[in-house]
Structure formats: C-alpha cells, structure tokens
Amino acid sequence: MAPGFETALQAMKERGWHNVRHLYCRWHIYEAIKRHCGKWFNTLPKGTRNPEMNRFIDAFKNVVVAPNEKQMHALWVSMIEDGGFPQEAVDWVFKEYYDNPRARKFMECYVYDSGNLHQTTTSRNEGSHTAYRSKTTVIPKLAEAYKARRIHKNQWMERLRAAAWSARNRIPLDVQAVPELRQIAGKLSVFAITEIRKQLILAKREAQSGRVSIWENRDSCNCHAYVRYRLPCFHMMPTDGSPIQLENIGPVWRLDIWEQGSFQPTIFINY
C-alpha cells in the first residue's frame, strides 16, 4: 500500500469530497495471493502447480464478484469444501481477505455503490505510469515524465466528456419511442440507457404473466443490474407506461456530472 495515496485520499476528504472511498485493487490482491500461497502449491505434483494455483485464483474471483452476501458466502463454502485446494492457502486467504475488514474494500457486494464505473483495478494508472517511467532515459528529467502523464490524464477526461455529450445529443430512435424512457433519454450514458431498456423489455414480458411488481413497490433488489451497476432491474420497472424517474438511477451514470467543472470522483482505488 502506498502511503502517499492514503495522504492524498485524506486531503481530498478534507477539501469537501466526502464521498471518496478507499478501495483495494483486485489485481494486486490476486497477485498477493499468488506470492504468499505459492509455497503451498509448490508441494503439488509437477505439472499441476500452476494450473491448480490458477484454479484457486479463479475460484476466489468468483467469490469476489458475487453480487450479494448470500451468494458470496455460498461460493466461499463451495470453494473450500469442493475445491481440493491446500488447506494452508485457504486459511491464509480466509484470514487476510475473506474474514477481514479488508473485504469491504474490494468484495463486489460491498463496493457496488461506490460509483466506480466497475473499474476495480489501477491498471490504467499503472500502465501509463510505467510507460512514462520507461522513457526516463529519453526524457532528461523525471518531472517531465510526470507532466506528460498529467497531460495524458487531462486528454482522457476530455474524451470521456466528449462521449458524454455525444450520448446527450444522439438519442437512439428505439429509445425515443419508449414512453418509460423519455424523461431519462439524453440524460444518462449510452450504456445505462441500453441496460435499462433491456430490463424494461424483461419487465413487460414478466408483467404479462403477472409475476413482476412495479417500481413503486421496490427500491432495491439483488439482481445483477442493480447490484453491479446501480441501475433498475426488471423487478423495479414501471410497466404501465409511466416514466422512469432520474432520481431512481445511480448518479454515476448521469451526463451532467461530466460537464466542465462539475465532475468530482466518488472513489479512490488503491492497494
């Protein structure tokens, strides 16, 4: 864990960004498990060590991305009872990550409301950082590399804003024709609108069979769309033609936050 990141996080909170949250990078967690648990997998027969380690990591990834606590616990039990993994490795992961306050900083069922756009690693940051550092023999001063990195980040933010304006101005015809979507069309990202339309179609199909409740009766759900993206699932949709309200959708998908000067990050991912 980089102490400088924690200092920066605290400074952000002191300056009014109260929604900033400190999350752990999953990629780093998986790499840490490989480093610490490798010695127990090395006792396995030759030719099975790496495949078994990868299977162990994949099993834990399934636990991490479980959309709710019930599924998370069920997958963990399945992992330790049916996986056939070295007990020492299971015990270490249990102590360090699963049965640890750290779990609330990277387990999907705990962090889905962080507004992180489902970005759960720091690969983009580290990739650009490594690229600029690799050119230090060409760039006379390291400070110039960091300056180039800041320029890159500013350009990336401008591309995101451009994509937001494009979504605002180019509303698909199949969205404009849906009464339930008219109030939110042009106000959400293309991904959010597309996902909501999919859920609305499911809701109408279910409504025909009388198995789905309308929006007013549900304000949360365990469905994938709501848990992972904070978007209304088909259980939460109006099926009588009434419009979906903007305030019922996670603010991270709203285009107005990408307007110049109004965007503030809601999380800070670090390991």
Which range (33-37, 64-68, 136-140) has the least confidence? Answer: 136-140
Show the CA angle centred on residue 115, arms to residues 98 and 163, nearest 5°: 135
Predicted pLDDT at 269: 38
Domain boundaries, the chain: 17-114, 123-170, 173-258
Q: What is the pTM of this model?
A: 0.54
Predicted pLDDT at 264: 47
What is the mean pLDDT of the segment spanning 46-58?
92
Alpha helices by DSSP H, 170-263: 173-176, 190-209, 224-229
Q: Which among 77-86, 119-128, 177-186 has the top mean pLDDT?
A: 77-86
How would you classify residue 16: left for phi > 0, otherwise alpha for psi between -120 and 50, otherwise beta? left
What would the pLDDT profile of 199-243 be if each residue is shown by its tens digit? 888 888 877 776 655 544 466 777 777 777 778 888 888 777 788
Q: Which two tokens stand for residue 84?
A: 């056939």
More confident residue, 224 or 179: 179
Distance CA 130, CA 141 (A): 15
What would the pLDDT profile of 30-39 be if each residue is shown by its tens digit? 999 999 999 9
What would the pLDDT profile of 232-258 be if each residue is shown by its tens digit? 888 888 777 788 888 778 777 887 766
User: Mean pLDDT over all residues of the chain?
Assistant: 77
Predicted pLDDT at 85: 93
Question: Do 171 and 192 contact (CB within 8 A), yes or no?
Answer: no
Query: Residue 139: which of 131, 128, 152, 125 has the closest Cα?
Result: 131
Predicted pLDDT at 38: 93
pLDDT at 262 over 50: no
Nearby residues of 226 by Cβ (< 8 Å), 6 or more positions away = 220, 232, 233, 236
Which range (11-20, 123-132, 167-176, 242-251) has the least confidence? Answer: 123-132
**Tokens 């320029």, residue?**
151
What would the pLDDT profile of 72-106 be if each residue is shown by its tens digit? 898 999 899 888 999 999 999 999 999 999 898 88
Distance CA 71, CA 66 (A): 6
Query: Residue 116: which of 19, 50, 205 has the closest Cα?
Result: 19
